[in-house]
Amino acid sequence: MSGRKNFANLKREVEANPERRARLDRERQFVRTILGLTAVREARGATQRQVAEAWEVSQANVSQIERTQDIYLSTLRKYIAALGGQVEIRAVFPDQVITLLGDGEMTGAISAESSASTARAGSRIS
């Protein structure tokens, strides 16, 4: 026997075991986090070294931040600031968008269509 397992059987085993399923979920979130921060940096055309210089930290520190599973909001703000941006967090409701972190302005009533597009745009950041 080659030691290989049928993928469908392996998947059933993982899904049947809550601990294994939770570990897999954490790993998936970890990958999304890595891809998220790295993608933001790459979309801005910056290297880890450039971010490190702007942030006044080491390139290794930037790499570690990009790979971390759970990031402090203050760290995320500094990372984004090093790229020349700012972090905004909004609560999106059918009739209103409230900025929780950003310039402090609260957006008044908006249309449902505008709110839906705002919600979709915001969901890209995971």
Contact in structure between 54 and 82 (CB atoms under 8 Å) = yes
Q: What is the mean pLDDT of residues 2-8?
A: 75
Q: Is the pLDDT of residue 62 over 90?
A: yes
Question: Rounded distance, CA 114 to CA 92, Å?
Answer: 10
Q: Could you state, in order of their start, the residue ranges of all structural domains in the chain?
A: 7-82, 89-122
Q: What is the pTM of this model?
A: 0.53
pLDDT-derived band at 57 (thresholds 50, 70, 90) equals very high
112, 97 Cβ separation under 8 angstroms: no
91 with 97: CB under 8 angstroms? yes
pLDDT at 92: 86
- DSSP SS3 for 108: strand
Supply the CATH classification number for the domain 7-82.
Answer: 1.10.260
pLDDT above 50 (res 119): no
One-letter amino acid of 59:
Q
